[in-house]
Structures are given as C-alpha cells and as structure tokens.
C-alpha cells in the first residue's frame, strides 16, 4: 500500500462533521437499501469527542480498504443516547448481520439483542469491569471485543514496578475517581507477582474522600507508621486527593525521607499523565495502553491528518472499519449449528498476521485469517478481548 495514496483526503473533516450534524443517520446508505452492517454512535451531550475520535479512526480504516482497490461497503449509522435501548434504534431487517455497539456498551442489552436478531456485535471500546460479565453471559458468543482489557495495562504497570524494586506499597483511592475502578485489579496482580500491599484496614485499598479531613489524617498516620516506600494513587494527577497528597509529601507529612520518598505509582491512563507535575520523588505510570503491530503506521497517518496523537478509541475505529469491510467482502460463514457466524473467518491462532490487502484475497478464497490491527494483537475471539503490548515505566 502506498501511504501517499490514502493520506490525502481534504474531505476527512467534512466526513466527521457531517456524521455528527446529521445525527449519524444513514450516512452512506439510503432508506431504500438496508445494508447488513450498522454502527451505533453515542449522541449524549458529552459524547462529541468520543464520536470524533472513533470517526477519524474509522475513516482512516476505510481509506486503507479503498487503497487496496476495494469499495467500502454500505453502512447504516445511528445515534444512540445512553438511556436508549439498542433495539429501539434498529428497524427489523433480515439483511442486518453485523452491528457495532457504542463505546462502554451495556453488554447484557446487546447480548440479548444479538440473540433476538441473530446478529454479530462488535464492541470497539469495552475495557473496564463490564468485561467481567462476559464469562457467564448468555449470548457472549455473539459479542466481539476489539481492544485489549485494562488488565493488560495493569500487568505492564505491575511488571515495571517489580522491575524497579517497588515491591511493597500502600494503595489509596479517591472513591469518586475513575481510577478507583482499577484499584482492586491492580492489587490482585501486584500480589500475584510477589508484591506486598500494606493496609491498616480490612480491605487492601485505603479509601480516602479528599473532603474528609479525618480520613486524610488517618492515611497520613498509616503512612508514617508503616514507612512504606511506595504509594499507589488511584486518582488523576490534578484530582483533589492527588493534590492534597502531593502537598502533604512535599511538606514531609509522610515522614521518613519525604519529600524524596515514598515513590508514587499512578493508576491513570497514559494520556492523563502527560501533564503530571514534576516532583522530588520518583513516579511510575503507563506510557501507552496495550496496542497492536500496526499502531506505528496508524499513528503516523493519524498525525498527518489531524495534527494530534490518536487515542486507543481512534485505533478501535480504524480496526472496526477494516473488519466490517472484510466481513462484507464474501459470503458470511456458518457456525456448527448452521447459523451465520459473521466473524467466523477470523482465526486468532494464525501465527502470520496479514495486511488488509492480503486479507481480501484470503477472505474471498474462503480462508480464515488474522488481520494486522492497530489497537490490539488481532487475536479476536467471541466473548473475549484480544491482547496487546502495553508499556509502563518511570515518568521523566
């Protein structure tokens, strides 16, 4: 594929804006033709950035398909509010076979819809605790996660902490922070790797509401008594708890060698650490989330067209577009029970990862394949997220 052929689209921004302005309704499909592919995008007041990230990545994926000389298949687009039931958006259609759910979708609702409508559902951005429900969920064989779980990121952070010799820590969370959803998983992985978590409470994670001065004082006392060399902070760098803890350590409030110690481990996403304040102690965090072998090329092209660094969600949009195009490129395979398995041509066990152009050739020959992906290692399986390579280390 010649990169210059799919790096120049003066109408890329128009495509993204148009998709938003028209509510993502039938962007490329007329009302008379009902494609077998559909995408649901979140349309809440705070979802504009989410839509833009996904659509920018999707358009790059579409362009990579077209650079192979392949027409991109018709896709029906729908907007969806968080309170909407997914079935409300979709008119009954025997043609519809593959549905792309919005980020952080209600897995139970989409599993039920998939069973009811005989659909395959792609989950472009499902990373958190909701993935735990997949194990016992009826219909999970119809749900296909596209990006790695947060577990891959946390494993990289634990490995970096152990390599640095930070094997004894206290974990503190702001119960209102998004990062608090990762605390328990980090503890489990840290302990499994041989790490020791200090706690003066029944649970290993110290919950400190930053507005509760008594709880903050208790945590300070625990830190002084334990002389723990590392603290794991489940809050954003500019969060209220982080700001208070930072001020306390800079003033020697944690005893010992403060402010040079304790070291800090952040449970924040990599993007949130870019502006972390410079401090006298060492800090460790995620440098980038788990992703796939095609990320470097994807990131370069994304920067060329947007002037920004892509998010994992944009990478998910890229991979989603390519999967939809390949699904539509040949007859959909059948499962053992005789029902359509729209992603049955994917083979996560293949050692060879093929480019998008090679994938079209193999797909039309009826062969199973493993497609090169940006957001994961492309070992796609129903009911199970793929993996990827995450990197964590010291924040310089």
Q: Is residue 384 a contact partner of residue 343, using CB atoms and an 8 Å limit?
A: no
Name all domains of the chain by residue range, CATH numbers in brackets: 3-148+292-391 (3.40.50.2300), 151-288 (3.40.50.2300)
Q: Find residue 38's DSSP bridge partners.
A: 76, 99
pLDDT on residue 32 = 42
Name the helix (H) or strand (E) containing 315. helix 312-327
Q: pLDDT tens, 341-393?
A: 899 999 999 999 999 999 999 999 999 999 999 999 999 999 999 999 999 99
Beta strand 283-291 pairing with 98-100: unpaired
- State phi, psi for 291 to the nearest 5 degrees: -155, 180
Which single residue is written with the structure tokens 């990320």? 295
Q: What is the mean pLDDT of each run of 10 residues along the chain (396 residues)?
A: 40 41 38 73 88 96 97 93 75 81 91 91 90 84 95 96 97 95 95 95 92 92 91 96 94 85 95 90 96 96 94 97 97 82 95 97 96 97 95 93
Beta strands in 43-180 (DSSP E): 76-80, 98-100, 120-123, 143-145, 168-173
pLDDT on residue 22 = 35
| Separation of CA 98 from chain center | 20
pLDDT on residue 289 = 94
pLDDT on residue 330 = 95
Q: Rounded CA gap, 50 and 48, in Å? A: 5
Q: Rounded CA gap, 349 and 257, in Å? A: 51
Q: Rounded CA gap, 237 and 235, in Å? A: 6
Q: Is residue 330 a contact partner of residue 366, using CB atoms and an 8 Å limit?
A: yes
CA 339 vs CA 3, 118, 276, 333, 343: distances in Å: 39, 8, 51, 9, 12
CA 138 vs CA 92, 107, 111: distances in Å: 22, 10, 7
Residue 313's contacts (CB-CB under 8 Å, 6 or more residues apart) are: 50, 53, 54, 57, 103, 124, 125
pLDDT on residue 209 = 94
pLDDT on residue 383 = 93
């Amino acid at each position: 594929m010649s990169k210059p052929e799919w790096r120049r689209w003066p109408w890329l921004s128009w495509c993204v804006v148009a998709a938003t302005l028209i509510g993502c309704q039938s962007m490329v499909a007329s009302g008379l033709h009902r494609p077998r592919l559909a995408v649901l995008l979140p349309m809440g007041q705070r979802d504009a950035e989410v839509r833009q990230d996904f659509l920018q990545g999707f358009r790059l994926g579409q362009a990579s398909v077209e650079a192979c000389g392949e027409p991109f298949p018709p896709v029906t687009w729908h907007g969806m509010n968080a309170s909407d039931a997914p079935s409300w958006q979709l008119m009954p259609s025997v043609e519809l076979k593959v549905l792309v759910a919005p980020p952080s979708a209600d897995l139970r609702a989409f599993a039920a819809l998939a069973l009811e409508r005989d659909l395959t559902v792609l989950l472009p951005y499902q990373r958190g605790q909701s993935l735990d429900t997949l194990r016992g969920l009826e219909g999970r064989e119809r749900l296909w996660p596209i990006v790695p779980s947060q577990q891959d990121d946390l494993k990289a952070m634990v490995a970096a902490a152990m390599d640095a010799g930070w094997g004894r820590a206290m974990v503190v969370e702001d119960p209102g922070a998004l990062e608090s959803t990762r605390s328990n998983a980090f503890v489990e992985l840290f302990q499994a790797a041989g790490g020791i978590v200090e706690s003066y409470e029944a649970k290993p994670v110290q919950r400190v509401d930053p507005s509760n001065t008594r709880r903050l004082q208790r945590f300070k006392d625990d830190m002084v008594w334990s002389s723990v060399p590392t603290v794991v902070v489940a809050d954003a760098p500019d969060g209220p708890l982080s700001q208070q803890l930072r001020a306390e350590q800079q003033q020697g409030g944690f005893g010992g060698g403060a402010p040079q110690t304790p070291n800090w481990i952040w449970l924040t996403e990599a993007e949130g650490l870019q502006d972390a304040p410079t401090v006298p102690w060492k800090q460790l965090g995620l440098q980038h989330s788990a992703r796939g072998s095609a990320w470097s090329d994807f990131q370069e092209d994304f920067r060329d067209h947007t002037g920004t660094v892509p998010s994992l969600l944009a990478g998910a949009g890229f991979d989603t577009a390519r999967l939809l195009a390949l699904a539509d490129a040949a007859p959909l395979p059948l499962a053992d029970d005789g029902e359509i398995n729209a992603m049955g041509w994917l083979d996560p066990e293949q050692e060879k990862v093929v480019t998008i152009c090679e994938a079209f050739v193999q797909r039309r020959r009826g062969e199973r394949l493993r497609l090169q992906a940006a957001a994961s290692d492309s070992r796609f399986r129903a009911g199970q997220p793929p993996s990827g390579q995450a990197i964590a280390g010291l924040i310089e």
